[in-house]
Amino acid sequence: MTIRALIVDDEPLARQRVRLLLDEEPDVEVVGESGDGFEAVDRIQSSRPDLLFLDVQMPELDGFEVLRRIPQAVLPVVVFTTAHDQHALRAFDAHALDYLLKPFKPARFKAAVQRARDLLADQQAGVAARKLVALLGRTPASGVGDQLARLAVKTPGRVGFVELDRIHAIEAAGKYVVVDAGTENHVLRESMSSLESHLPPHRFLRISRSVIVNIDQIQELQAMFKGENLVVLKNGKSFRTTRPIREIQQRLEFR
């Protein structure tokens, strides 16, 4: 059995260290590396690794937040790497996971790989994933992803949370999205598709490639000239929609 591994760490030297140690494991194939959490989310979902070496402390999107954005069905066996929080991470040891405290020794690294190997050989990776989901406080949901209860908004030095009820609309802006939360706008480094997959579908509707709206914030629908249609929100903002008005009307009537 070949174990497909992905390395995620914002430090190039740390990634190189893990890769060199994995070169000594003949049954492990490194399928890629990621230097930040956002790239890691995409790579995990595209390459579907069996084993993930994941740095806990990363800027913008840390290791825990990376895992919260991964659908449970594709969540691999996880070995955390960290330079801090040794006592806090003892909890993972009781949940059939492992962690490596930097700078880790080759013998400790081999033990972590063997533990992951045993989990995969015994077909217990799914059990480990479910325990990890529970440990992170995330409730599995139907569909391609797990639904958010609140939206985390990071600013320098702190992480705030926006209740979903406060969100009026979400607009694409290149590699970012702009969240209209009434009196505040928040810019997040997130793709529309990824964010949409984690929003409750009975509360939010993607009306075009670049706009998602809170269904409760829709005031009216307007049919315009040349087949153009508008969705007007309670705050007075309006957006063109590529969805038929009849389809949106049904979503409003039969929630």
Residue 108 lies in a domain: yes
72 within a domain of the structure (yes/no): yes
Q: What is the pTM of this model?
A: 0.54
Domain match, 102 and 216 both? no
CA max distance for the chain:
70
Residues 212 and 247 grouped into a single domain: yes
Q: Note the pLDDT tens digit of each residue in 148-167.
A: 778 888 766 677 788 999 99
Structural domain count, the chain: 2
In this structure, are 163 and 118 located in the same domain?
A: no
pLDDT at 130: 55
- Contact criterion met (CB below 8 Å) for 146 and 139: yes
Q: What is residue 125's predicted lDDT score, i.e. its pLDDT?
A: 55
Nearest Cα neighbor of 74 from 124, 34, 129 is: 129
Which pLDDT tens digits describe the chain residue by residue (255 residues)?
Answer: 899 999 999 999 999 999 999 999 999 999 999 999 889 998 999 999 999 999 988 877 788 788 878 877 788 888 888 876 654 454 454 343 677 888 889 999 999 999 888 888 776 555 555 555 555 554 443 333 456 778 888 766 677 788 999 999 999 998 789 999 988 899 888 788 878 878 888 899 999 989 999 999 999 999 887 777 899 999 999 999 988 888 888 778 766
Judge if 23 and 126 occupy the same domain.
Answer: yes
142 in a structural domain: no
Same domain, 23 and 127: yes
Q: Report pLDDT for 189.
A: 80
Q: What is the pLDDT of residue 141?
A: 38
Partners of 152 in beta bridges: 161
Domain that holds residue 185: 150-253
Judge if 221 and 119 occupy the same domain: no
Asked if 110 and 11 sit in the same domain, the reply is: yes
Look at residue 7 and tell me if it is in a domain: yes
Rounded Cα distance between 229 and 239, Å, is 8
Contact call for residues 109 and 21 (beta carbons, < 8 A):
yes
> What pLDDT score does 97 carry?
61
